[in-house]
């Protein structure tokens, strides 16, 4: 299951990752305050908690 990781201090405020089933960070978010990061993490968890598939955006193709 994907999950929003615990909010922690980061270089520019507070942040969290959304992690894969293998606990690998997929994307990171940072906010100015812990309260903003906590609120966002709560919403992020609601978004991913019942997802059956989470994919990155497709990579752009280059023409030759």
pLDDT at 6: 94
Alpha carbon 29 to its chain's center: 6
* CA dist 29 → 52, 62, 63 (Å): 22, 29, 32
Confidence of residue 40 (pLDDT cuts 50, 70, 90): very high
Distance between CA atoms of residues 36 and 11, nearest Å: 15
Q: Is the pLDDT of residue 64 over 80?
A: no
Say if residues 14 and 7 touch (Cβ distance below 8 Å): yes
Average pLDDT over residues 22-44: 95
Contact at 8 Å (CB) between 4 and 25? no
The residue assigned the tokens 């969290």 is 16
What does the domain layout of the chain look like in residue ranges? 3-48
For the chain, give the mean pLDDT.
90
């Amino acid at each position: 299951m994907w999950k929003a990781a615990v909010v922690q201090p980061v270089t520019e405020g507070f942040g969290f990752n959304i992690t894969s089933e293998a606990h690998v960070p997929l994307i990171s978010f940072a906010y100015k305050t812990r309260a903003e990061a906590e609120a966002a993490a709560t919403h992020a968890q609601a978004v991913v908690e019942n997802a059956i598939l989470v994919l990155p955006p497709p990579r752009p193709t280059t023409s030759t």
